[in-house]
């Protein structure tokens, strides 16, 4: 299938207070979610992996803007592109709740590094994306959850509902899909674990990639 297979990290079952941060945007309503165990790709999907998909499926390869391919996170891919790749490898995009839960890795602070994060700990406030895995992973073995590229999630964008939820899937319809994590060109506040962003599922952009989940 591909020369560089997806590497998975095991994410344990558990609960979090989603968007549990002192300073947050209006759409980050606090609510508790419980997640079943799942596996998540340790790294954002790379150009090397995505290019193999394009070769096999006869698809046009996305532009890397001269920053490099191979181990660089794939970017300039739409939500539809990411979903097609996910099906090709037998996985899927993470729900928004799964993404935040995995990013936090047991933490309750704005970042999995603590109350703050610097460009020595993640690719933020930079000029281009960098190869995956250059910074330390979080405590569950996931790399680059903050910065480098935004990551598409499965959910339609919508208001959170309050209360307790188990394995929430998000709204059943909408206009925009969610993406998470911030990217290389953003300030730290936009790379928080709880920060939400969204766009049309057809959007392709230099700062937007994805990673996958695989049910256990």
Q: How confident is the model at residue 2 (pLDDT cuts 50, 70, 90)?
A: low
Average pLDDT for 146-169: 88
Q: What is the predicted pLDDT for the residue at 201?
A: 97
Q: Say whether pLDDT at 3 is over 90.
A: no
Per-residue pLDDT band at 44 (split at 50, 70, 90): very high
Domain membership of residue 172 (yes or no) is yes
| pLDDT higher than threshold 60 for residue 1 | no
d(CA 191, CA 130): 16
Give me 156's structure tokens: 């339609």
* pLDDT value, residue 71: 97
Pairwise CA distance, residues 111 & 22, whole Å:
12
Q: Alpha-carbon distance 24 to 192, whole Å?
A: 9
Q: Give phi and psi for 150, each to the nearest 5.
A: -60, 155
Containing domain of residue 210, as a range?
A: 8-215
Q: Indicate whether 176 pLDDT > 60.
A: yes
Lookup: tokens for 183 = 């990217």
Query: Which of 29, 12, 7 shows the shortest CA–CA distance to 20?
Result: 29
Q: Is residue 202 part of a domain?
A: yes
The pTM assigned to this predicted structure is 0.92
pLDDT-above-90 percentage for the chain: 75
Provide the pLDDT confidence category of residue 126 given band limits of 50, 70 and 90. Answer: confident
The pLDDT value given to residue 185: 87
Question: What are the pLDDT digits (tens) for 110-119?
Answer: 999 999 999 9
Q: pLDDT at position 89, please?
A: 95
Token pair 């969610």: residue: 178
202 confidence band (pLDDT: 50, 70, 90): very high
Position 2 in a domain: no
How many structural domains does the chain have? 1
Listing DSSP states for 105-170 in one string gives TT--SSBTTBS---TTTS--S-SS---TT-S---TTS----SSSSEEEEEEEP-PPPPSEEES---
Q: What is the mean pLDDT of the chain?
A: 91
Mean pLDDT value of segment 105-110: 92
Reported as a single tens digit per residue, the pLDDT across 15-41 is 877 555 555 655 556 768 899 999 999
Q: Check which CATH number belongs to the domain holding 99 and give it.
A: 3.90.1580.10
Q: What is the pLDDT of residue 211?
A: 98
138 found inside a domain: yes
Axis crossing angle, helix 79-89 with helix 47-57, rounded to the nearest 10: 80
Place of tokens 């549990």: 20
Residues 6+ apart with CB under 8 A from 7: 41, 42, 43
Task: Give yes or no for a contact between 11 and 140, defined as CB atoms under 8 angstroms apart.
Answer: yes
Residue 173 covered by a domain: yes
């Amino acid at each position: 299938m591909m020369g560089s297979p997806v590497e998975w990290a095991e994410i344990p079952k558990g609960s979090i207070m989603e968007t549990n941060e002192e300073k947050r945007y209006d759409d980050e309503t606090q609510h508790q979610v419980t997640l079943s165990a799942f596996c998540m790709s340790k790294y954002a999907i790379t150009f090397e992996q995505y290019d193999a998909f394009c070769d096999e499926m006869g698809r046009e390869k996305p532009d890397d803007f001269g920053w490099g391919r191979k181990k660089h996170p794939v970017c300039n891919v739409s939500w539809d592109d990411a979903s097609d790749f996910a099906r090709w490898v037998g996985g899927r995009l993470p729900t928004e709740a799964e993404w935040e839960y995995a990013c936090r890795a047991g933490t309750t602070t704005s970042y999995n590094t603590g109350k703050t994060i610097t460009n020595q700990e993640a690719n933020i406030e930079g000029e281009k994306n960098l190869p995956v895995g250059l910074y330390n992973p979080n405590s569950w073995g996931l790399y680059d959850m903050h910065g480098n590229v935004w990551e598409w999630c499965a959910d339609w964008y919508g208001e959170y509902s309050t209360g307790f939820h188990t394995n929430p899937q998000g709204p059943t319809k909408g206009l925009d899909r969610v993406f998470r994590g911030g990217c290389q060109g953003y300030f730290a506040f936009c790379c928080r674990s709880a920060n939400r962003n969204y766009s049309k599922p057809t959007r392709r952009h230099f700062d937007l990639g994805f990673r996958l989940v695989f049910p256990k």
